[in-house]
Structure 1
Amino acid sequence: MERKPNFLLLGIDGGATKVSGYQVLANDSNLTFDLSSVHAEKSYSEIPGYLPDFKAVDIPTQLKQRDEHAIQLTEAEKQQGAVYVEATAIVIEQMVQQTGINNVLIGLGMPGLKTPDKRGIEVVANGPRILNYASLLEKRLELANVHLVAPLHQIGSDADYCGIGENYAKDGMFRGVDNAYYLGGGTGVADALKLKGKLVFFDQIKPWMAKSWEMKADDGRSLERFASAGGIQSIYAEIAGKDVAELNRQKIYPLQMASMALNGDETARKTFDLVVQNLSLLLFERLTTIYAGWQGLFTFVNPNRPALSKEHEYLGTLLDRIIIGQRLGELMDSEAGQIVLRQPLLQRLKDLVASAEALDAAARHHYENPEKLIVTSKLRAAPALGAGIDAYLNYQSRK
């Protein structure tokens, strides 16, 4: 009989529009994890003080302030940041109430670059910078008489947590392979890697590989725009001359756009042409950079980003699997998405591989049938699951 822990293990995924939380169940016998039915979520817009017209400080300015150690939060960021923390606290309180367990261990994933102590957010594309996020959350939970069995050891990367979730979940797509790349597209984009049998976090390999959002397409857009559901919607909005809020009111999301493209809608077709062109090049960049080093296929959002090295310890490695997750995976699996996205993407990737000077004959042969390489993940709430797993493994290592 499995021993039940004396605390509630929670994985929290803080997104751009809402916070989602789940109870995470650990199976110590084989070190696998799963989600229970205990779940809570809260939209930021439900919290008093929410700023519906909030505009994030532009990324170059954020990066400049960080590099100069002169971060200046705007009043709007401070107010919106307080809303984000309050929404997270409410989600945790609700799950405490559902279970009746007041001893809590929390893992939290958020997008953005973290502060040096990893307990705050100092650069983020879609939201406020919150430099002391963990401290604010812990104080707020203390006021609610929620007992933390350990302080929040870090605010993790939602991208890293997708990788951890895929690696430790019973049905995770990193299981059973040594070399794989994960691309998850929701509101933003998540990159994760497993090489030579071990998870490799992007912050550890930034000298030779960039995150998707850091790279720019020829038209100046971040690659995040072509790999995330939110980004695809925003590209459609730009081409159509509409704003995203209007599309939301009309319930026009990427799944609907795929059907529209299939039915001949010119704006939707143009959108998916751009997505196929840039997403295939992104996946090709991953294959070639891992196998042969950086080939300079893209420029960077931050013009001051150090040049990528062509040398790294994984040169010559071939991927066993490319995993497409979250809403981007759902889009590729949809009936219309298979026709307007998956099939043309596979064909363009096949063409890029066939003519790739950076790949030798053995590598071109390995990648000649990308339909055998690319799979979609059905893992539920991968970032929240990974957050809970990370908290658990860190807690156990410190006992």
Structure 2
Amino acid sequence: MTVTTARTPVRPASGAEAFFADLAEDMPRTGATSLAITHLLPGQMEFLTALDHVAQVSAVLPKPTSVDRRTRDQIAASYRCDPLDRARFADPGWLATYLKERAFGRRLVLADIGGYFAPALAEVCAALPGVIAGVVEDTENGLRRYLELDALPCPLYSVARSPLKEPEDRLVGGAIVFSIESLLRRLGEVLVGRQACVLGFGKIGTGIAAALHARHVTVTVLDTDPVRQAQAISMGYATASLPEAMRRADLVVSATGSRAIGMQQLGLLRDGAILAGATSRDDEFDLADLNDPSAGFARDELLPGVSRHNRDGRSFLLLGNGNAVNFLHTSALGPAVHLIKAEIIAAAALLADEPHEPGLYEVPAAARGRIAARWIDAFHTHRPLTS
């Protein structure tokens, strides 16, 4: 098999491409390869050039529920795109064979979103000694999957709790509410004046609650963490028991990542309520039986991204088939998304450049500071105020 050399970034004039080209100049060009699980969305893919500089991207694996067709075509013109399937990635034999083929005989960095490599990671590391340089995980849900392992079999860099991710998380909350409102307007409805229940008051849930409040929605917040619940109450949000909150809510948005709503909780929804998720369906809901005839629900697709489910004369609307509803509208986040992409590249460079002992790592604060400073310069957010 012929191994091509990493592509050299071409320094453009401005914007995201310039930001990542500038970043790559200070990163080592290693002999490692990388696999990138990623959303394929407009305005979010410029980071691949810098990652390719650090550790040649041997394949891009698009998250199935967040693929913009035009963006995929553009990425596929430069990089190999392989299908991503959680069940297949949980098969150690299959995954070891796949990773060995993509490593090209070199050390391999795995860039993950959602813990896809976690179930089979220990067996894969044992089967491929010295091949897996480490994993970089982007999300809180994915980090939890890795931390549930008895022991980390390789180094794991997490950016899920990085301060550079906080701007993205807040914007995601706004993007989720934007998509909910867009779908409702297509049905001839609006958000103003509704009652909403937000499950989970983490970084994304906080953004969802704030965006709903800004649209004159009455918001009740529930979180199993008493500290977060106290924060929500202190910010003026209502609280209630789960049954009470769901019974009075026109809109329920789940942002827990812990399968907070299953088939049993569907009976708590008021007739005609709207149900939406902030992460993938597998993380947010336990609704595998919803389309099973024995469950007794009749399904009617009102429009793409909105389905009505009826049983015993009562119904609810499910948005985005239970997946993160913001991806129905490409989840545009603006330049803030590039902050955490840059930190992912910095973590990949650390793994590719020098072997690490197995364990959990974070990108050093000084490196985060340099990324933030470059980002400010690239996107001109330091413009002086004018009178």
TM-score, normalized by the shorter chain, greater than 0.5: no
TM-score, length-normalised on structure 2? 0.31
